Amino acid sequence: MDTGTLMLTLAPMVGLKPDDIRAALSGTQQAVMLATDLPVAVGERVISETIAGLDVVPYWRRHYPERTLAAHVLGFYTAQHRGYYGLEGFYDQRLAGEVISRTQEQDAQRNPMPLDVTQDFTARAQRGVDLVLTIDRTAQMIVEHELAVALEATGAEQGAIIAMDPRTGDILAMASAPGFDPNVYTDIAAHDPDRFVNVAISDLYEPGSVFKIITLAAALDTGQVSRDTTYFDTACLEVGGRQLCNWDRKDHGPVSMIDMMAKSLNVGAATLSTRMGAAEFYRYVTAFGFGKPTGIDLQAEATGQLRLPDDLDWYESDLGTNAFGQGLSATPLQVIAAVAAVANAGELVQPHVVKAIADGEAVREAQIVEMGRAIRPDTARTLTEVLVEAVAREVPQAQVPGYRIAGKTGTSQIPIPGGYDDPWTIGSFVGYGPASDPRLIVLVRLDRPTLSPWGVDTAAPVFQRVAARLFAVLGIAPDDVMAEGR
């Protein structure tokens, strides 16, 4: 076929003008790329014309029909055939498949001879594995909707919500906002690449008062206190030469463990950690998974920062501040995984988003990965009851009718060089239920809200809406029904 006929035949099929093809072929290159990203049907039609010297190379291209839904979980696949972030990055090699190698014949001058374009078109590319996710599509839509509403209502700059089954580590929904559309990743990469960062697994923050769950868990498990133990609460307490004060700067006199959690008293948490001593306290903190990644099957998980007594930059005052979640950092995923251990009778399990991997006829189901026992089952039950009563007394915003909710608010300061970025905070709430048989745990994090600096005002109501809707969608019965079934 001469060049003129080639241009007239090929141009309309691939969406080019004849002059474009003439210009491309006017050079001295041995091989010229005329068009890319053509639909399969177009490639097959070009092949049917049997144009000598023309090669058609098929390849896999990812399309995301749900657009922004679960974008941070999925990540994206580039035109350079690489996966980045989320599942795409973590499972890149297994998802990518492969292009079958082809041998081109050469002429006497060792120049490649044209391939026979009539060879099997579909045989040149083999697909990779298929992933079956733990994500519930409806739950994901609910969580993303509620997070978007929360950002608008509270004025928060960004946020994250994670919903998980505490018994298995199945991530049922995971949302970070602002989101993005992986179909147009190139546009986002050019002007706002930070949007690719999954706040839920990659953005560190000081957990704040949510961490008091870990401190009380350790104190209960070591026998330092029982649920009915009281201490005399002063407005401030000196630890390692530093004055640590309650958020309200008030002394509360004789206080029980339930009151300490309900009123979220920093002095109470610091009292518990100093009574235990550094060795015992940090033994439990590390047993709950802090200071190391969870190992979730998503790319770019952050580790978190935890100073230990043997570290040169650890100070005695850290024993007090760490007890109420200050001076250490974690991801929302690490926090929810740690609290899920309380809901799961003290056993820490690894969070994951892949339920099964299908490779042709072979299907491999994901297994529950136990990461160690953090506390005894009886300690977990006692702590759950303490958290239920604390929520019932002080956090009506988080209560769901028919369900006993165990949970804790958090209000975190935001560290900057030389101190904290006052007056800005991160509001959070983590809770699980039904308390009699926990099937769902949800964490809400909202950064720099303008509505209120307190997690009880910003994050707790979001938890309530999310939990109420997910209990219904996931078919999780209320506590009284659970009790009848046992």
Active site residues: 209
For the chain, how are helix, strand and coil distributed in percent, rounded to 5? 40, 20, 40
Tokens of 388: 């239920």
Q: How far is CA 377 from CA 313, 343, 344, 374, in A?
A: 35, 10, 8, 9
CB contact at 8 A, 24 and 36:
no
Written as six digits, the tokens of 79 are 């035109």
- Please state, in angstroms and rounded to a whole number, the distance separating the CA atoms of residues 290 and 213: 13
Judging by beta carbons within 10 Å of its beta carbon (0-12, 13-18, 19+), is residue 32 exposed, middle or buried?
exposed
- Could you tell me which residues are beta bridge partners of residue 308? none
Residue with tokens 């920062």: 305
Distance CA 25, CA 16 (A): 13
Longest dimension (CA), the chain: 96
DSSP string, 111-137: PBPPP-TTS-SGGGEE---EEEES--H
232 pairs with which residues across the strands?
Answer: 254
> Within its chain, how far is the Cα of 135 from the centroid?
12
Residue 413: alpha-carbon gap to chain centroid? 21
Q: In whole angstroms, what is the distance from residue 73 CA to residue 75 CA?
A: 6
How far CA 242 is from CA of 97, 319, 328, 420, in Å, comes to 57, 11, 16, 16
Residue 346's DSSP bridge partners are none
- Kindly report the number of other CB atoms within 10 A of residue 145's CB atom: 14
CA atoms within 13 A on the CB side of 315: 11
Contact 431, 442 (CB under 8 A): yes
Altogether, the residues listed in the chain come to a count of 486
> Any bridge partners for residue 370, and if so which?
349
- How far apart (Å, rounded) are the C-alpha atoms in residues 114 and 79? 25
> In sequence order, which residues have a C-beta less than 8 Å from that of residue 320 and are 6 or more positions away?
237, 239, 240, 242, 244, 270, 273, 274
What stretch of H or E contains 146?
A: helix 137-154
| Pairwise CA distance, residues 316 & 322, whole Å | 10
